Chains A and B, each alone.
Chain A
Amino acid sequence: MHVLTVDDSRASRLVIVRFLTDLGFQATEAVDGTEGLRYLRGGRKFDVILVDWEMPGMSGVEFIRAVRSDAATIDTPIIMISTLNSSDRLVEALEAGANEYIMKPFTKEILAMKLDLLGVESK
């Protein structure tokens, strides 16, 4: 199972990739939405996408809308990971097309549970 993680913070990416690796997933990092879309449109297949909300340039929500507007990735599960934790923000992300939402700070167990909810298994 291959996961694309889109986050401008190197620290965040480091944590997420560590968690994913421990959980038995393969991870590819993108430093912003543009790079993320480049990977996706370059024909690479991902089973899940994790995306941060607040990034320079394209925001996480804009990224999700772009992913959803492409027939090739219209159904790829997306989890938004963000410090934003108001109900309105969660609704905004879900309406844009996110399948799940993780509020920071989070643990590996929380990530595993969310992946489980989406029916994504490491093997």
Chain B
Amino acid sequence: MISRAGFDYVRNLVALRAGIRFEPGLEYLLESRLLPLARLYKASSVNEFIRMMQNGAIRDPEQNLIEALADKETSFFRDVRPFDGLRRSILPELISKRGSKRKLSFWSLGCSTGQEPYSLALLLREYFPDLQTWELEILASDVSGEALHTARAGLYNQIEVNRGLPAALLVKHFQKDGLGWRLKEEIRRRVQFSQLNLFESWPAPRKFDVILLRNVIGHFAPEPQSEILRKVRRRLEPDGLLFLGSKEAPPAIGEIFEEVKLDKGLCYRPQPGGEDEVEESAEDRERKLRELGNWAQLAQLAIAPAGIDREKVSALLAADEEIKGRLLDSLQRELGEKKMSEKMAGEAMAQARREQLFATAVTTPITKALNESFQSMLSVGVEPGDLTVFDADAQELVSGSAKLSGIAAGRLSVRFRPDLARDLTVEALGLSPEDVAPEVVNDFIGQVVSLVSNLANTSLSSAGLKCKLEAVEITRGKRAKTAMTAKAVLLPLVFQYQSRHPIWLDIFISALE
């Protein structure tokens, strides 16, 4: 279990450095996300990993944490309406205004794995073919280097291309590549990706026609929200437009932008002014905090220099005993306020245990292929409330050769018919049948069984699981469908842990025919 001091250290660091919020009560979640990182650095536990970071044994600890903890949720044409608005009114208007310059520029901020800027590129390609002779610029930035790596590759798994991407665009602009789909080079090269942490200094201001800042700043504190919005204003043409997430309404927005109503939804145009504003430097920020006597914030700066000169802060601390004392006081006070209720602590611990089991299972190497397929599945987010659990009726719907049965007394036993076990192994590992020795089958099925067992324990101890699953059997179906069956077995396991929801039985059953 992550220590409270460790939790607070990480939480403060990522909040200050990248606006990532982990409220008390989410210790288990934080720990489960850090566990793979701890393993990577060969730490025996997350607590040890945190100590290693504090002792300077980890290079660039902040970026490591950001990679592990940043929200990567995205989808093609997310929420549809902003893209409809661009297509129907915003772009036609901009195109007529820019007719003499024949130039348009877009910036997708917080682009995650690239679906947003690529949706924009696809939209321009499909609906505004005349723009092909214009100078079009689509920039896309994100704080996570890992997300940008995926974005540049333009390779998405089946679930990602199922989410929000029109099928007609999928077949026209993507090519099947292994288990995934790769966006064709022609669209990929339209987008330039770069790494940017919104909490650090931004590239020098230059003007864009449209900026997308969707589902990025909604959960930031008001102060950075307003600062970021001001920076965005300085980078928009006076008649340029800003899109926020459909449910985002930062308190400061009205002072900096004015609403532009679309047929459905809205976007924003810069309020006049702001041209003379100078972006706050790290030194300014430090000075302001000192003047305000905001010791808590200063203390955090000392823990996690957010783009400021680390040596300067050290010098400041070394030079001024009084400040140092007050910093420490306020740090302690902050920590003291974060006592969790006992119930919450208990729940967090149980959850952490489950997450650990999962992390252990998925990080145990079986084969590279299997691990990779797990990794790609892990990148898929599941929203709370998405889940439907089947009732006892489900058991009579399917019958077949592999048996998941006997959920009782916290145990689930799994039996696979030998030839099915072999087919599953072949499909899941992507090997030819001749190459699959009986030991490989045993090893693979053993892994599946242990995952399923963990799953059963989790399900039974989870308060969320209301129904009792007596016996669910998997229909093997035609041989051609074996791959699906393999996915049907693996996906729910992964989703279960990834989402911390009860069995992902919908997918399980919908994959069967």
- Interface of A toward B, CB cutoff 8 Å: 9-12, 14-16, 18-19, 22, 52, 54, 83, 85-87, 90-91, 93-94, 98, 100-110, 113, 116-117
- Within 8 Å by CB of B163, from A85, A93, A101, A113, lies A113
Once A10-B397, A90-B171 are accepted as A-B contacts, the answer to whether A106 and B510 lie under 8 Å apart by CB is: yes
Asked if B192 is an interface residue, CB under 8 A from chain A, the answer is no
The 8 A-B pairs of least Cβ separation, nearest first, read A101-B167, A105-B511, A105-B507, A15-B510, A11-B397, A113-B164, A11-B509, A110-B162
- Which B158-196 residues sit within 8 Å CB-CB of chain A? 158-159, 161-164, 166-168, 170-171, 174-176
Nearest B residue to A14, CB-CB: B397
Question: How far in angstroms is the closest Cβ of chain B from A59?
Answer: 13
Q: CA separation between A77 and B162, bound complex, in Å?
A: 17
A-B contact pairs, 17 of them (CB 8 A): A11-B512, A12-B510, A12-B513, A18-B388, A19-B506, A90-B167, A100-B166, A102-B162, A103-B162, A104-B511, A105-B484, A105-B488, A105-B510, A106-B159, A107-B507, A117-B80, A117-B166
Nearest A residue to B81, CB-CB: A116
- Which B108-125 residues sit within 8 Å CB-CB of chain A? none
Q: Which residues of A contact B507 (CB under 8 A)?
A: 105-107
Asked if B491 is an interface residue, CB under 8 A from chain A, the answer is yes
Question: How far in angstroms is the closest Cβ of chain B from A81?
Answer: 8
- Within 8 Å by CB of B167, from A11, A18, A94, lies A94
Contacts between chains A and B (CB distance < 8 A), count: 98
Known: A103-B162, A105-B510, A109-B386. 8 other contacts (CB 8 A): A11-B397, A90-B167, A102-B162, A104-B484, A109-B163, A113-B75, A113-B80, A117-B164
Question: How far in angstroms is the closest Cβ of chain A from B73?
Answer: 11
- Within 8 Å by CB of A18, from B397, B487, B491, B506, lies B506
Q: Which residues of A contact B290 (CB under 8 A)?
A: none
Asked if B382 is an interface residue, CB under 8 A from chain A, the answer is yes
Once A11-B398, A83-B513, A107-B386 are accepted as A-B contacts, the answer to whether A90 and B163 lie under 8 Å apart by CB is: no
Nearest B residue to A101, CB-CB: B167
* A22–B388 CB distance below 8 A: yes
* A110–B163 CB distance below 8 A: yes
- Which B462-513 residues sit within 8 Å CB-CB of chain A? 481, 484, 487-488, 491, 506-513
* B176–A87 CB distance below 8 A: yes
Interface size on B, residues (CB 8 A): 39
- Within 8 Å by CB of B80, from A11, A18, A116, lies A116
Once A10-B397, A113-B75 are accepted as A-B contacts, the answer to whether A103 and B158 lie under 8 Å apart by CB is: yes
Q: CA separation between A98 and B182, bound complex, in Å?
A: 23
Q: Which residues of B contact A19 (CB under 8 A)?
A: 388, 506
Question: How far in angstroms is the closest Cβ of chain A from B159?
Answer: 7
Q: Which residues of A contact B484 (CB under 8 A)?
A: 83, 104-105
Asked if B435 is an interface residue, CB under 8 A from chain A, the answer is no
Nearest A residue to B390, CB-CB: A14
Nearest B residue to A82, CB-CB: B513
* B398–A94 CB distance below 8 A: no
* A85–B171 CB distance below 8 A: no
Q: CA separation between A91 and B512, bound complex, in Å?
A: 23
Q: Which residue of A90, A93, A107 has the most chain B CB atoms within 10 A of its CB atom?
A: A107
Asked if B107 is an interface residue, CB under 8 A from chain A, the answer is no
Question: How far in angstroms is the closest Cβ of chain B from A31?
Answer: 13
Question: How far in angstroms is the closest Cβ of chain A from B445?
Answer: 21
Q: Which residues of A contact B174 (CB under 8 A)?
A: 87
Asked if B268 is an interface residue, CB under 8 A from chain A, the answer is no
Asked if B77 is an interface residue, CB under 8 A from chain A, the answer is yes
Once A11-B398, A105-B488 are accepted as A-B contacts, the answer to whether A91 and B386 lie under 8 Å apart by CB is: no
Q: CA separation between A9 and B170, bound complex, in Å?
A: 27
* A107–B382 CB distance below 8 A: yes
Once A107-B506, A116-B80 are accepted as A-B contacts, the answer to whether A87 and B171 lie under 8 Å apart by CB is: yes
Asked if B439 is an interface residue, CB under 8 A from chain A, the answer is no
Question: How far in angstroms is the closest Cβ of chain B from A2?
Answer: 21
Question: How far in angstroms is the closest Cβ of chain B from A67?
Answer: 17
Q: CA separation between A113 and B119, bound complex, in Å?
A: 14
Question: How far in angstroms is the closest Cβ of chain A from B178?
Answer: 12
